[in-house]
Amino acid sequence: MNIANPPPIVALPPELIARFAALIGDKYAVTDPAELEAYVTEERNLYRGHSPLVLRPGSTAEIAAICKLASETRVALVPQGGNTGLVGGQTPLNGEIVISLKRMDNIREVDTSSNTMTVEAGVILQHAQERAASVDRLFPLSLGAQGSCTIGGNLSTNAGGTAALAYGLARDMALGLEVVLADGRILNLLSKLKKDNTGYDLRDLFIGAEGTLGIITAATLKLFPKPRAVETAFVGLQSPADALKLLGIAQAEAAGNLTSFELIAEIALDFSVRHGHNRDPLQSRHPWYVLIELSSMRDDARGALEAILERGFEEGVVVDAAIATSLTQQQAFWKLREEISPAQKPEGGSIKHDVSVPVAAVPQFIDEANAAVVGLIPGARPVPFGHLGDGNIHYNVTQPVGADKAAFLGRWHEVNTVVFAIVMRLGGSISAEHGIGVMKRDELPGVKDQTAIELMRAIKAMLDPQGIMNPGKVL
């Protein structure tokens, strides 16, 4: 069987649907078309799937029973968390059964001595953050969708977010996993240990695999000391090159206390102010902006932030800046950043890229990508923003004013081709934190080491020989 091209999914007979439903109870088996709608569409409306059945199991044992029956009957499954994915990885495109993890929302344990929290896959990210805060700890993964995305989905896509500069990606925040394999076996890797050199680290196989190798059902997460001081500034600059210089200043002055460094183009700010009902923090507009946040266990973050900005002014890098003087103002600064993505919708079609390049190459990437995209589609409006501190840029392209939306989106692949060519030439990646899903599946073999692709296919064939786990995604 060719795992890369799974066979078409056949319609499930009613008696088989009934067998699956019986495993968890009819109450948690969704078959009504109106109720199914929420599980087969996604927020960007780029992908619309179809499914005869959504199962909402409440335990790892129930998921194991579902996978065992699916393996015996060769029925394909699509795991789904909060359905906030951006590359189509959670959408049942071929009529697969959807396994919704939302009922798996227990926080099993919080251990402040080990600085760990063991949670089920359906726990909403914000709830995990709040539970950590309740015991004076920090779970630092932070995303725009944190009010609805789930820990299982975060791990399955190896989510990044705004604090990756200081704390890493989701992979770096997980010590252990519990996973149900395609045949129904349960793999228990729920460990609190920071040191465990007992052979292959199987945990990392499933993080970032987008449900193609198994279903993550629980995780042991790392907790961190809760900062005593958090300071935030919104800064106006002339160019990404100046932002890069300011990043160097910030890293020198703040050392490990620099937790976020977000780059924002003027057009992105304009969209956020206009459509997100936000207020511009600075008195005049600037070509580029940076949102800086410092966190410290001592009350010295304000002094460090002021020193960064002072050096920035002295070296001609910073044009203007505002430091948040209250929690409300901090939240307003971050709302400007978080509203950038939804604020693009009223402007028409948007072709989106989640890419990374070496940090030093970010200014060159933006300059070259802007020129290439506008050369390809005159009037196109590049909207670059993202995590300069780790080289991850969300390089979005909004349609020309007055253009036909469908015609513009029809050129998605053309735009991808020119943008990805620049990314690869600069030693970057076509997917920094959103995953591959189906959006980038066909591009992956052309940009990834061929031996790596072969090994990925071999691992997939070994763990999922019948190709029932989220088929057609990633590979």
Q: Where are the domains of the chain?
A: 14-100, 107-225, 229-346, 348-432
Q: What is the DSSP letter of 11?
A: P
CA angle 58, 63, 65 (to 5 degrees): 120
For residues 338-343, average pLDDT: 93
Topology alike, domains 229-346 and 348-432 = yes
Taking the CA atoms of the chain, what radius of gyration do you get in angstroms?
Answer: 23
pLDDT digits (tens, 9 = 90+) for 18-55: 999 999 999 999 999 999 999 999 888 888 999 999 99
For residues 353-368, average pLDDT: 97
CA atoms lying within 13 Å on the CB side of residue 272: 24
CA dist., res. 387 & res. 322, Å (int): 20
Kindly tell me the sign of the dihedral angle through the C-alpha atoms of 212, 217, 222, 228: positive
For residues 231-253, average pLDDT: 97
pLDDT greater than 60 at residue 402: yes
pLDDT greater than 80 at residue 290: yes
For residues 82-99, average pLDDT: 94
pLDDT digits (tens, 9 = 90+) for 297-321: 887 899 999 999 999 999 999 999 9
CATH fold, domain 107-225, is 3.30.465
CB 89 within 8 A of CB 211: yes
CA dist., res. 188 & res. 324, Å (int): 45
All residues at 6 or more sequence positions from 260 whose CB lies less than 8 Å from its CB, including other chains: 162, 163, 165, 166, 291, 292, 293, 387, 389
Q: What is the pLDDT of residue 8?
A: 53
CA dist., res. 173 & res. 171, Å (int): 5
All residues at 6 or more sequence positions from 473 whose CB lies less than 8 Å from its CB, including other chains: 88, 89, 210, 211, 212, 436, 437, 438, 441
CATH fold, domain 14-100, is 3.30.43
Q: What is the pLDDT of residue 1?
A: 30
Whether CATH 3.90.1150.10 fits 229-346:
no
Model confidence at 11, pLDDT cuts 50, 70, 90, reads: confident
Lowest mean pLDDT among 110-119, 251-260, 283-292, 452-461: 251-260
Model confidence at 9, pLDDT cuts 50, 70, 90, reads: low
CA dist., res. 339 & res. 156, Å (int): 24
For residues 251-277, average pLDDT: 94
Q: What is the pLDDT of residue 451?
A: 97
For residues 185-214, average pLDDT: 94
pLDDT greater than 60 at residue 186: yes
* Residue 80: closest CA among 29, 4, 150: 150
> What are the tokens at 271?
């969209």
CA dist., res. 75 & res. 73, Å (int): 6
CA atoms lying within 13 Å on the CB side of residue 338: 14
CATH fold, domain 348-432, is Alpha-Beta Plaits (3.30.70)
pLDDT greater than 80 at residue 433: yes
The model carries a pTM of 0.92
CB 87 within 8 A of CB 208: no
For residues 124-136, average pLDDT: 97
Share the mean pLDDT of the chain: 94
CA angle 462, 467, 472 (to 5 degrees): 120
CA dist., res. 399 & res. 406, Å (int): 10
Q: What is the pLDDT of residue 4?
A: 43
Scan for tokens 């203007």, then name that residue. 320
